[in-house]
Structure 1
Protein backbone atom coordinates (compact mmCIF):
# COMPACT_ATOMS: atom_id res chain seq x y z
CA UNK A 1 0.00 0.00 0.00
CA UNK A 2 0.98 3.64 -0.11
CA UNK A 3 0.57 6.85 1.83
CA UNK A 4 0.27 10.36 0.41
CA UNK A 5 2.74 12.79 2.00
CA UNK A 6 4.40 16.13 1.35
CA UNK A 7 7.98 15.69 2.55
CA UNK A 8 11.17 17.55 1.82
CA UNK A 9 13.60 14.80 0.74
CA UNK A 10 16.42 14.17 3.17
CA UNK A 11 19.95 13.63 1.85
CA UNK A 12 19.48 9.89 2.47
CA UNK A 13 16.19 9.87 0.53
CA UNK A 14 17.81 11.78 -2.33
CA UNK A 15 20.47 9.06 -2.53
CA UNK A 16 17.81 6.34 -2.47
CA UNK A 17 15.80 8.06 -5.21
CA UNK A 18 18.93 8.58 -7.33
CA UNK A 19 19.77 4.90 -6.91
CA UNK A 20 16.24 3.84 -7.91
CA UNK A 21 16.18 6.06 -11.00
CA UNK A 22 19.84 5.98 -11.94
CA UNK A 23 20.10 9.74 -11.33
CA UNK A 24 18.62 12.39 -9.07
CA UNK A 25 15.61 13.90 -10.83
CA UNK A 26 16.22 17.48 -11.87
CA UNK A 27 13.87 19.89 -10.14
CA UNK A 28 12.77 17.50 -7.37
CA UNK A 29 10.86 19.46 -4.72
CA UNK A 30 8.88 17.03 -2.56
CA UNK A 31 8.23 13.37 -1.93
CA UNK A 32 4.48 12.97 -2.42
CA UNK A 33 3.96 9.26 -1.73
CA UNK A 34 5.74 6.53 0.23
CA UNK A 35 5.24 2.79 0.66
CA UNK A 36 4.59 1.07 4.00
CA UNK A 37 8.34 0.97 4.66
CA UNK A 38 8.75 4.71 4.04
CA UNK A 39 10.44 4.38 0.64
CA UNK A 40 9.61 7.21 -1.78
CA UNK A 41 7.24 6.26 -4.59
CA UNK A 42 6.37 9.61 -6.19
CA UNK A 43 7.83 13.09 -6.34
CA UNK A 44 6.70 16.62 -7.05
CA UNK A 45 8.91 18.40 -9.59
CA UNK A 46 9.42 22.14 -10.13
CA UNK A 47 7.44 23.86 -12.89
CA UNK A 48 10.55 25.46 -14.36
CA UNK A 49 13.75 23.46 -14.61
CA UNK A 50 16.80 25.34 -15.88
CA UNK A 51 14.49 28.15 -17.03
CA UNK A 52 12.30 25.89 -19.18
CA UNK A 53 8.84 24.44 -18.52
CA UNK A 54 8.86 20.93 -17.11
CA UNK A 55 5.49 19.35 -17.97
CA UNK A 56 5.63 16.47 -15.50
CA UNK A 57 4.52 17.70 -12.09
CA UNK A 58 4.47 14.24 -10.44
CA UNK A 59 7.20 11.71 -11.16
CA UNK A 60 7.52 8.04 -10.16
CA UNK A 61 10.60 7.36 -8.07
CA UNK A 62 10.20 3.59 -7.75
CA UNK A 63 12.08 1.38 -10.19
CA UNK A 64 9.61 -1.40 -9.36
CA UNK A 65 6.57 0.69 -10.30
CA UNK A 66 8.24 1.97 -13.47
CA UNK A 67 8.90 -1.65 -14.49
CA UNK A 68 5.38 -2.88 -13.67
CA UNK A 69 3.71 -0.03 -15.56
CA UNK A 70 6.09 -0.44 -18.50
CA UNK A 71 4.92 -4.06 -18.84
CA UNK A 72 1.29 -2.92 -18.92
CA UNK A 73 2.08 -0.25 -21.52
CA UNK A 74 3.94 -2.79 -23.67
CA UNK A 75 0.90 -5.08 -23.49
CA UNK A 76 -1.26 -2.33 -25.04
CA UNK A 77 -3.12 -1.15 -21.95
CA UNK A 78 -3.05 2.52 -22.98
CA UNK A 79 -5.14 1.78 -26.09
CA UNK A 80 -7.56 -0.34 -24.01
CA UNK A 81 -7.98 2.48 -21.48
CA UNK A 82 -8.40 5.11 -24.21
CA UNK A 83 -11.20 3.02 -25.70
CA UNK A 84 -12.83 2.77 -22.28
CA UNK A 85 -12.67 6.56 -22.00
CA UNK A 86 -14.67 6.77 -25.26
CA UNK A 87 -17.12 4.05 -24.22
CA UNK A 88 -17.69 5.11 -20.59
CA UNK A 89 -18.86 8.72 -20.19
CA UNK A 90 -18.53 8.59 -16.39
CA UNK A 91 -14.92 7.45 -16.68
CA UNK A 92 -14.25 10.24 -19.20
CA UNK A 93 -15.70 12.75 -16.73
CA UNK A 94 -13.52 11.38 -13.92
CA UNK A 95 -10.49 11.46 -16.21
CA UNK A 96 -11.14 15.09 -17.13
CA UNK A 97 -11.44 15.89 -13.41
CA UNK A 98 -8.04 14.20 -12.90
CA UNK A 99 -6.49 16.57 -15.44
CA UNK A 100 -8.21 19.57 -13.85
CA UNK A 101 -6.89 18.51 -10.43
CA UNK A 102 -3.37 18.13 -11.86
CA UNK A 103 -3.45 21.60 -13.44
CA UNK A 104 -4.84 23.20 -10.26
CA UNK A 105 -2.35 21.50 -7.95
CA UNK A 106 0.60 22.35 -10.19
CA UNK A 107 -0.43 26.02 -10.42
CA UNK A 108 -1.10 26.25 -6.67
CA UNK A 109 2.32 24.78 -5.85
CA UNK A 110 4.12 27.57 -7.71
CA UNK A 111 5.37 30.72 -6.04
CA UNK A 112 4.17 34.02 -7.43
CA UNK A 113 7.69 34.64 -8.74
CA UNK A 114 7.54 31.36 -10.70
CA UNK A 115 4.10 32.23 -12.08
CA UNK A 116 5.40 35.66 -13.12
CA UNK A 117 8.42 34.06 -14.84
CA UNK A 118 6.17 31.56 -16.65
CA UNK A 119 4.00 34.43 -17.87
CA UNK A 120 7.06 36.47 -18.92
CA UNK A 121 8.39 33.48 -20.89
CA UNK A 122 5.02 32.96 -22.58
CA UNK A 123 4.34 29.52 -21.11
CA UNK A 124 1.14 30.22 -19.14
CA UNK A 125 -0.95 27.99 -21.43
CA UNK A 126 1.48 25.10 -20.89
CA UNK A 127 0.64 25.18 -17.19
CA UNK A 128 -3.04 26.10 -17.32
CA UNK A 129 -4.24 23.99 -20.27
CA UNK A 130 -2.05 20.90 -20.34
CA UNK A 131 -2.89 18.05 -18.02
CA UNK A 132 -1.16 14.98 -16.64
CA UNK A 133 2.32 14.67 -18.11
CA UNK A 134 1.84 17.80 -20.22
CA UNK A 135 -0.81 16.29 -22.50
CA UNK A 136 -3.08 18.65 -24.44
CA UNK A 137 -5.72 16.16 -25.57
CA UNK A 138 -7.53 15.14 -22.40
CA UNK A 139 -9.19 12.23 -24.20
CA UNK A 140 -5.87 10.45 -24.64
CA UNK A 141 -3.38 8.88 -22.26
CA UNK A 142 0.28 9.63 -22.86
CA UNK A 143 1.87 7.39 -20.26
CA UNK A 144 0.79 5.21 -17.35
CA UNK A 145 3.79 6.33 -15.29
CA UNK A 146 2.67 9.95 -15.06
CA UNK A 147 -0.94 8.90 -14.48
CA UNK A 148 0.10 6.64 -11.62
CA UNK A 149 2.46 9.20 -10.08
CA UNK A 150 -0.47 11.64 -10.03
CA UNK A 151 -2.69 8.93 -8.51
CA UNK A 152 -0.17 8.23 -5.75
CA UNK A 153 0.17 11.94 -5.05
CA UNK A 154 -3.46 13.08 -5.06
CA UNK A 155 -5.75 10.62 -6.84
CA UNK A 156 -6.41 9.94 -10.52
CA UNK A 157 -9.04 8.00 -12.49
CA UNK A 158 -6.52 5.94 -14.47
CA UNK A 159 -4.44 5.22 -11.36
CA UNK A 160 -7.59 4.03 -9.58
CA UNK A 161 -8.20 1.55 -12.41
CA UNK A 162 -4.57 0.41 -12.24
CA UNK A 163 -5.08 -0.35 -8.54
CA UNK A 164 -8.58 -1.82 -8.71
CA UNK A 165 -8.27 -3.88 -11.89
CA UNK A 166 -4.54 -4.53 -12.21
CA UNK A 167 -3.54 -4.66 -8.52
CA UNK A 168 -0.63 -2.25 -8.72
CA UNK A 169 -0.93 -0.86 -5.15
CA UNK A 170 -1.34 -4.40 -3.81
CA UNK A 171 2.14 -5.21 -5.16
CA UNK A 172 3.74 -2.59 -2.90
CA UNK A 173 5.23 -3.49 0.50
Structure 2
Protein backbone atom coordinates (compact mmCIF):
# COMPACT_ATOMS: atom_id res chain seq x y z
CA UNK A 1 0.00 0.00 0.00
CA UNK A 2 1.23 3.48 -0.74
CA UNK A 3 1.04 6.15 1.87
CA UNK A 4 -1.54 8.91 1.33
CA UNK A 5 -0.01 12.05 -0.18
CA UNK A 6 0.64 14.05 2.96
CA UNK A 7 2.77 17.13 2.55
CA UNK A 8 5.77 16.81 4.85
CA UNK A 9 5.35 18.56 8.17
CA UNK A 10 7.79 21.33 9.03
CA UNK A 11 8.72 22.98 12.31
CA UNK A 12 6.79 26.06 11.13
CA UNK A 13 3.71 23.87 10.51
CA UNK A 14 3.92 22.51 14.06
CA UNK A 15 4.14 26.04 15.46
CA UNK A 16 1.13 27.14 13.40
CA UNK A 17 -0.93 24.08 14.32
CA UNK A 18 -0.07 24.61 17.99
CA UNK A 19 -1.24 28.22 17.68
CA UNK A 20 -4.41 27.09 15.87
CA UNK A 21 -5.21 24.56 18.59
CA UNK A 22 -4.11 26.68 21.53
CA UNK A 23 -2.01 23.75 22.78
CA UNK A 24 1.06 21.87 21.62
CA UNK A 25 0.45 19.82 18.49
CA UNK A 26 1.11 16.13 19.07
CA UNK A 27 2.31 13.38 16.81
CA UNK A 28 1.63 15.19 13.53
CA UNK A 29 2.95 13.09 10.66
CA UNK A 30 1.85 15.22 7.70
CA UNK A 31 -0.31 18.01 6.34
CA UNK A 32 -2.93 16.57 3.96
CA UNK A 33 -4.81 19.85 3.45
CA UNK A 34 -3.72 23.48 3.53
CA UNK A 35 -5.41 26.86 3.32
CA UNK A 36 -4.90 28.76 0.09
CA UNK A 37 -2.33 30.84 2.02
CA UNK A 38 -0.35 27.68 2.86
CA UNK A 39 -1.24 27.33 6.55
CA UNK A 40 -2.29 23.85 7.70
CA UNK A 41 -6.03 23.15 7.60
CA UNK A 42 -5.95 19.41 8.31
CA UNK A 43 -3.17 17.46 9.98
CA UNK A 44 -2.52 13.74 9.80
CA UNK A 45 -1.91 12.31 13.25
CA UNK A 46 -0.12 9.08 14.08
CA UNK A 47 -2.52 6.24 14.89
CA UNK A 48 -0.60 5.63 18.10
CA UNK A 49 0.50 8.69 20.03
CA UNK A 50 3.99 8.92 21.50
CA UNK A 51 2.60 8.07 24.95
CA UNK A 52 1.16 4.81 23.57
CA UNK A 53 -2.47 5.96 23.35
CA UNK A 54 -4.35 4.66 20.28
CA UNK A 55 -5.63 7.59 18.21
CA UNK A 56 -8.16 6.62 15.52
CA UNK A 57 -8.63 10.12 14.06
CA UNK A 58 -6.01 10.16 11.30
CA UNK A 59 -7.35 13.39 9.77
CA UNK A 60 -7.77 16.22 12.28
CA UNK A 61 -9.25 19.62 11.42
CA UNK A 62 -7.10 22.42 12.88
CA UNK A 63 -8.10 25.57 10.97
CA UNK A 64 -9.90 27.82 13.50
CA UNK A 65 -12.43 29.28 11.03
CA UNK A 66 -13.27 25.84 9.64
CA UNK A 67 -13.56 24.39 13.14
CA UNK A 68 -15.89 27.22 14.20
CA UNK A 69 -18.05 26.82 11.09
CA UNK A 70 -18.40 23.07 11.64
CA UNK A 71 -19.17 23.61 15.34
CA UNK A 72 -21.93 26.04 14.38
CA UNK A 73 -23.29 23.55 11.86
CA UNK A 74 -23.29 20.79 14.48
CA UNK A 75 -25.22 23.09 16.82
CA UNK A 76 -28.02 23.30 14.24
CA UNK A 77 -28.64 19.55 14.71
CA UNK A 78 -27.83 18.87 11.04
CA UNK A 79 -26.34 15.53 12.09
CA UNK A 80 -29.88 14.27 12.67
CA UNK A 81 -30.67 15.15 9.05
CA UNK A 82 -27.51 13.44 7.81
CA UNK A 83 -28.24 10.32 9.89
CA UNK A 84 -31.71 10.20 8.35
CA UNK A 85 -30.15 10.56 4.90
CA UNK A 86 -27.95 7.53 5.65
CA UNK A 87 -31.01 5.57 6.76
CA UNK A 88 -33.06 6.54 3.70
CA UNK A 89 -30.56 6.60 0.83
CA UNK A 90 -28.81 3.34 -0.05
CA UNK A 91 -26.39 5.07 -2.45
CA UNK A 92 -25.24 7.61 0.16
CA UNK A 93 -24.96 4.79 2.68
CA UNK A 94 -22.77 2.80 0.26
CA UNK A 95 -20.58 5.82 -0.49
CA UNK A 96 -20.21 6.50 3.25
CA UNK A 97 -19.14 2.87 3.76
CA UNK A 98 -16.54 3.33 1.01
CA UNK A 99 -15.35 6.52 2.77
CA UNK A 100 -14.89 4.50 5.96
CA UNK A 101 -12.93 1.84 4.07
CA UNK A 102 -10.80 4.51 2.38
CA UNK A 103 -10.06 6.13 5.75
CA UNK A 104 -9.01 2.78 7.25
CA UNK A 105 -6.81 2.02 4.25
CA UNK A 106 -5.11 5.42 4.57
CA UNK A 107 -4.45 4.86 8.27
CA UNK A 108 -3.10 1.36 7.66
CA UNK A 109 -0.41 2.84 5.41
CA UNK A 110 0.82 4.83 8.40
CA UNK A 111 0.62 2.13 11.06
CA UNK A 112 -1.42 -0.72 12.45
CA UNK A 113 -2.91 -0.36 15.90
CA UNK A 114 -4.92 -3.46 16.86
CA UNK A 115 -6.98 -1.62 19.49
CA UNK A 116 -8.56 0.60 16.83
CA UNK A 117 -8.78 -1.89 13.96
CA UNK A 118 -11.98 -1.24 12.01
CA UNK A 119 -12.67 2.05 13.82
CA UNK A 120 -12.46 5.17 11.69
CA UNK A 121 -13.80 8.53 12.86
CA UNK A 122 -16.79 10.82 12.72
CA UNK A 123 -19.21 7.93 13.25
CA UNK A 124 -18.38 6.15 10.01
CA UNK A 125 -19.63 3.82 8.65
CA UNK A 126 -23.05 3.70 10.29
CA UNK A 127 -23.82 7.13 11.71
CA UNK A 128 -22.81 10.77 11.69
CA UNK A 129 -21.17 11.73 14.96
CA UNK A 130 -18.55 14.45 14.31
CA UNK A 131 -18.69 16.79 11.33
CA UNK A 132 -15.19 18.09 12.10
CA UNK A 133 -13.69 14.65 11.48
CA UNK A 134 -15.80 14.02 8.39
CA UNK A 135 -14.93 17.41 6.90
CA UNK A 136 -11.25 16.82 7.68
CA UNK A 137 -11.43 13.50 5.81
CA UNK A 138 -13.19 15.16 2.88
CA UNK A 139 -10.58 17.93 2.71
CA UNK A 140 -7.68 15.48 2.99
CA UNK A 141 -8.98 12.84 0.58
CA UNK A 142 -10.64 15.19 -1.90
CA UNK A 143 -14.18 15.82 -3.10
CA UNK A 144 -16.30 12.75 -3.69
CA UNK A 145 -14.53 10.57 -1.13
CA UNK A 146 -16.69 11.30 1.91
CA UNK A 147 -20.28 12.24 1.01
CA UNK A 148 -21.25 13.50 4.47
CA UNK A 149 -18.02 15.47 4.80
CA UNK A 150 -18.71 17.00 1.39
CA UNK A 151 -22.27 17.92 2.41
CA UNK A 152 -21.06 19.49 5.64
CA UNK A 153 -18.39 21.54 3.86
CA UNK A 154 -20.91 22.74 1.28
CA UNK A 155 -23.27 23.83 4.04
CA UNK A 156 -20.74 25.34 6.45
CA UNK A 157 -20.12 29.05 6.60
CA UNK A 158 -16.47 28.50 5.62
CA UNK A 159 -14.91 27.99 2.22
CA UNK A 160 -11.58 26.23 1.77
CA UNK A 161 -10.63 28.50 -1.12
CA UNK A 162 -10.92 31.72 0.95
CA UNK A 163 -8.21 32.48 3.52
CA UNK A 164 -9.52 33.31 6.98
CA UNK A 165 -6.28 32.61 8.78
CA UNK A 166 -5.01 34.58 11.70
CA UNK A 167 -1.56 36.09 11.55
CA UNK A 168 0.65 33.18 12.58
CA UNK A 169 3.90 35.10 12.15
CA UNK A 170 4.36 35.27 15.93
CA UNK A 171 4.02 31.47 16.10
CA UNK A 172 7.53 31.04 14.73
CA UNK A 173 9.24 33.22 17.29
- Picking from 142, 150, 160, the partner of 2:129 is 142
1:96 aligned counterpart, secondary structure: helix
Cα offsets for 1:13-64 (capped at 9, x unmatched): 2111111110133211111101211111001000111112111111011011
TM-score by length of 1: 0.82
More strand by share: 1
Match status 1:9 vs 2:9: yes
Offset, 1:90? 0.8
Distance 1:170 1:149 in 2: 11
Structure 2: which 5+ runs fail to align?
164-173
Residues 5 and 34, structure 1, Cα contact 8 Å, conserved in 2:
no
Offset, 1:171? 6.5
Q: Which residue of 2 aligns with 1:64?
A: 65
Q: Which residue of 2 aligns with 1:169?
A: 159
TM-score by length of 2: 0.82
Q: 1:78 to 1:62 in 2, by over 3 A?
A: same
Distance 2:104 2:8 in 1: 22
More helix by share: 1
- Picking from 119, 122, 127, the partner of 1:130 is 119
